[in-house]
Amino acid sequence: MKAIKLQLSFYDSYACDQELDDEMGILVSFLTSEVRCGKSSWEDWILDDRQGDGTSGNIIYLEKENDEIYLGDLLNLSEKNTELKISRRQLVQLIYDWKDKVCKTMPKEVTIIRNGNDFTIETKD
């Protein structure tokens, strides 16, 4: 099991004081920098086979392969090319949870937990 804690900053965004250079860091970057708390169509792209095999935001790319999504860091120039493999269903659920648990209430602390292939979001004020 692995967990990353995010703290609400003065600017109503979430920051982490841990190094984020692994699979969990990619997920945190996707949620905080790409999904954020605005309107997004990530869920539509993830679930729709007609919308191509790959796309990207400002710092994270996504690639579809069958029922899996691969997320990677566009800015990672090192030889270590880390990718997060996650099911489409799980990624869409995380986006819904992010919007519902985080964006609607803006808690002081958010913890993203990975237990095998399962991800959960917990919040605390």
pLDDT single digits (tens) 98-113: 999 999 999 999 999 9
Radius of gyration from C-alpha coordinates of the chain: 14
Quote the CA–CA distance of 70 and 21 in Å, as a whole number: 15
**Cα–chain center distance at 61:** 11
Residue 78 has pLDDT above 70, yes or no: no
* Angle at 51 (CA atoms; ends 46, 56), nearest 5 degrees: 65
Q: pLDDT-based confidence at 95, cuts 50/70/90?
A: very high
Quote the CA–CA distance of 60 and 26 in Å, as a whole number: 7
Q: What is the mean pLDDT of the chain?
A: 91
Q: pLDDT-based confidence at 52, cuts 50/70/90?
A: confident
- Letter for the amino acid at 113? I
Q: Largest Cα–Cα distance of the chain, in whole Å?
A: 41
Q: Which of these, 52, 51, 72, lies nearest to 62 by C-alpha position?
A: 72
User: pTM here?
Assistant: 0.91
